[in-house]
Amino acid sequence: MLPDYLSPALDVIFCGTAAGRRSAELGHYYAGRGNRFWPTLYEVGLTPALLRPQDDASAPQYGIGLTDLAKDVAGVDRDIPPTAYVPERLHAVLQEWKPKRLAFTSLTAARLGLGLRGRIGAGLYQITAIPNLEVWALPSPSGMARGHWDIAPWRALAESIRGWPA
């Protein structure tokens, strides 16, 4: 649906569940009205300027990679068939590009990507399957998830990237 934007030595790869409908229509990550992804990256200091969805291909120059668990479908999570999610592809991406961090842009993405069951919380996870990789589960920046929004885990991720205590 959307291409991966990856390069060697990334500080973080952000991974969502799948492109939203608006993102798929426009061909850019996190393009939905009310999506806080790009403003949050700027607010927490991961980009020096406020990027727009149409700037997504430039993300790697800021140490940021972009991908999704489901690459061939678009829509809201409840409409995505479970078979569309391919965590094995994400693991191959991580093995190939070897980023310092993986940050799931929703708790659903983290649960699916990590093969966890039940509810999970936001924050840093200890995953031994991929050594030397910090794994973060972040609250969704989607406008549809406003009731669960919390910028604090995003700030903690940014502090980790800058080398400050989280």
8-state DSSP, 48:
S
Portion of the chain with pLDDT greater than 90, in percent: 88
Mean pLDDT of 107-127: 93
Query: In this structure, which topology does domain 12-162 adopt according to CATH?
Result: Uracil-DNA Glycosylase, subunit E (3.40.470)
Portion of the chain with pLDDT greater than 70, in percent: 98
Q: Compute the distance between CA of residue 143 and CA of residue 96 in angstroms, rounded to an integer.
A: 32
Q: Compute the distance between CA of residue 166 and CA of residue 157 in angstroms, rounded to an integer.
A: 7
What is the domain partition of the chain in residue ranges? 12-162
Strand segments (E) across 21-91: 64-74
Q: Chain centroid to CA 127: how far?
A: 17
Model confidence over 46-85: pLDDT tens digits?
Answer: 999 999 999 999 999 999 999 999 999 999 999 999 999 9
Question: Of the candidates 50, 22, 103, 23, which has an alpha carbon nearest to the alpha carbon of residue 3?
Answer: 23
